[in-house]
Amino acid sequence: MNLELLTKQVANLSRATGSYIKNEVKQLSPDEIELKGNNDFVTYVDKTSEERLVSELARILPEAGFIAEEGNDYQQGDRFNWIIDPLDGTTNFIHGAPPFAISIALADKSKIIAGVVYEIVMNECFYAWENGGTFLNGNPVKTSAHKTMGESLFATGFPYSDFSRLEGYLNVFEYLMKHSHGVRRLGSAATDLAYLACGRYDGFYEYGLHPWDVAAGVILIREAGGFVADFKGQDDFLFGKEIVAGNQEIYTEFLRVIKTGFEQ
């Protein structure tokens, strides 16, 4: 398998699908917005985008199955699976507020081997493949070189339906407010992780996420020189609904802050 060629094909597919999504921003009406759960929305744009992506990805790698946000009846593959979020940041999208993105990853069993995040409004396509590095619109990128949390900028996503771990989340949030350059919340985890991969952010944490929210971002960060784990420092971030990521310099200290905050 030529992972570089495959990844660039997926990047082109993401751009094409992103053009469709961008054109639909002004077409969406309130009665076309469905509520899946508390503050969890879906539109015909999410569904149509996923259908387009699934159809084309099946041609790119016929033997792969699918794990996708909107599709419950896709068959998973024995070895390869596409992990897809057709529109990460739907709440932003329905309000016409950036960012919102397409996130596609390819998993070989439990290992992510390729990933693309296309942030639609800024027309920024981030992509990476195993042992190939991370790229933004064709140019190689790396995580930041900031050496301390005090000089770092962090990102997070606010809990929107599961508030069972809110105390620990806020403990970490308070620490970062007091001991860093600040904390940002964009409303698209895929975009947050891509921004960390190219050095705009230095660290990210969130709980309550799904595989399609983080899978592509994981390989973007790792191929750009960063680290990713769950809140215990282990590898259960894809299905464990918690993730912490950082550049090489601040990751260890940041993970300590996460562990301390959620154990209080």
Amino acid at 94: I
In angstroms, the CA 119 to CA 138 distance is 14
| Residue 23: per-residue pLDDT | 85
Same domain, 89 and 153: no
Structure tokens at 21: 């999504």
| Residue 72: per-residue pLDDT | 64
Domain that holds residue 246: 149-263
Place of tokens 């990751």: 251
In angstroms, the CA 141 to CA 69 distance is 28
More confident residue, 40 or 247: 247
Total domains in the fold of the chain: 2
| Residue 193: per-residue pLDDT | 98
- Res. 40 pLDDT band, cuts 50 70 90: low
Task: With CA atoms as reference, report the closest residue to 164 among 209, 229, 208.
Answer: 208
| Residue 226: per-residue pLDDT | 98
Q: Which of 140, 172, 193 is the last residue of a domain?
A: 140
Phi, psi angles (nearest 5°) of residue 102: -100, 135
Same domain, 258 and 136: no
Same domain, 7 and 136: yes
The lowest-confidence range among 38-47, 88-97, 235-244, 247-256 is 38-47
- Res. 35 pLDDT band, cuts 50 70 90: low
pLDDT in tens, 135-155: 999 999 999 999 999 999 999
State whether residue 55 is helix, strand or coil. Answer: helix
**Average confidence (pLDDT) over 165-178:** 97
In angstroms, the CA 39 to CA 210 distance is 15
- Res. 41 pLDDT band, cuts 50 70 90: low
pLDDT in tens, 78-133: 999 999 999 999 889 888 899 999 999 999 999 999 999 999 999 999 999 999 99
pLDDT at 42 over 80: no
Q: Which of 115, 140, 165 is the last residue of a domain?
A: 140
| Residue 38: per-residue pLDDT | 52
| Residue 39: per-residue pLDDT | 45
Same domain, 7 and 116: yes
β-strands 153-156, 182-184 pairing: parallel
Same domain, 134 and 179: no
Same domain, 112 and 240: no
Same domain, 134 and 237: no
pLDDT at 27 over 80: no
Task: With CA atoms as reference, report the closest residue to 4 among 192, 140, 123.
Answer: 140
pLDDT at 36 over 70: no
| Residue 215: per-residue pLDDT | 98
